[in-house]
């Protein structure tokens, strides 16, 4: 069965600083990987997804993530944090072929300090 | 497109009462998912449908929960009788091609059972 581990339930960064949210996955077959963002009192919104086409994936709002098979990682980054980036971020994994089921991580709350 | 529409946004009910949550997926999306989000358990997949047929209901907590999708544009999640531990945010999501291609979430229904 596939799983993801998000390191750090809370991350604080200063406005303008680099955002780095960590995600490691476990899967016995090639994975699909996702990052979702949840703003307060809203549903989750897809930021970006990795589906094996390219290891560096660019998403919305200036975010990107790099798939590193050797490290089983899919960390989310943004060069410069904005106040509007404050939200909760979820990493998720699914597997190619057969029965499709997405497993979500426990989430990381990003605080942006002015 | 109006996105995934859920109703009601908030529901407060007394223990033992029946609760019905409603969802209208994005037109043309063949997959519909019901998730529950709590602080303790995070995001849990309750059930999902493909072309109106339930595919996986292994996440439905117990017989008090039931879900239907009578047509491609409407689904319900019913809890009868409700209990305080059912208090959570319930999300509906839909997908065009399946979980591996990303979901679009609704804004959720915040259920409080007193």
- Give the one of B45, B98, B106 whose C-beta lies nearest to A43's C-beta: B106
Provide the pLDDT for residue A2. Answer: 85
pLDDT in tens, B73-111: 999 999 999 999 999 999 999 998 877 778 899 999 999
**Residue B98 to residue A43, Cβ atoms within 8 A:** no
% pLDDT > 70, chain B: 99
Chain A neighbors of B104, CB-CB under 8 A: 46
* pLDDT surpasses 70 at A96: no
Across A58-75, average pLDDT: 95
Q: What is the mean pLDDT of chain B?
A: 94
Residue partners of B42: CB distance under 8 A and separation at least 6: A104, A105, A106, A107
Q: Quick one: pLDDT band at residue A97, thresholds 50, 70, 90? A: low
Across B51-62, average pLDDT: 91
Q: Report the DSSP beta bridge partners of residue B93.
A: B33, B105
Provide the pLDDT for residue A45. Answer: 94
Tokens encoding A111: 């605080």
* pLDDT surpasses 70 at B1: no
Q: Given CB atoms, is A9 within the 8 Å cutoff of chain B? A: no
Chain B neighbors of A105, CB-CB under 8 A: 42
Q: Contact, A22 vs A8, CB < 8 A? A: yes
**H-run or E-run covering B20:** strand B19-24
């Amino acid at each position: 069965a596939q799983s993801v581990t998000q390191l750090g339930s809370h991350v604080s960064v200063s406005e303008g600083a680099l955002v780095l949210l960590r995600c490691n996955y476990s899967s016995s077959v090639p994975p699909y990987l996702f990052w979702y963002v949840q703003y307060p009192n809203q549903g989750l919104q897809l930021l970006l997804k990795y589906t094996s086409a390219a290891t560096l994936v660019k998403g919305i709002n200036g975010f990107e993530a790099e798939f590193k098979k050797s490290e089983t990682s899919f960390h989310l980054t943004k060069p410069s944090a904005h106040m509007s980036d404050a939200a909760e971020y979820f990493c998720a994994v699914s597997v190619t072929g057969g029965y499709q089921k997405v497993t979500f991580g426990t989430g990381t709350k990003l605080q942006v300090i002015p | 497109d109006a996105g995934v529409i859920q109703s009601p946004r908030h529901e407060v009910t007394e223990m033992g009462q029946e609760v019905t949550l409603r969802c209208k997926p994005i037109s043309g999306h063949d997959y519909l998912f019901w998730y529950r989000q709590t602080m303790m358990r995070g995001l849990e997949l309750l059930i999902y449908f493909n072309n109106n047929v339930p595919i996986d209901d292994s996440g439905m907590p117990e017989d008090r929960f039931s879900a239907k999708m009578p047509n491609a544009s409407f689904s319900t999640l019913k809890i009868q009788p409700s209990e305080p531990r059912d208090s959570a945010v319930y999300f509906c999501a839909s997908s065009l091609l399946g979980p591996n291609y990303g979901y679009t979430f609704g804004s959720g229904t915040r259920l409080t059972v007193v």
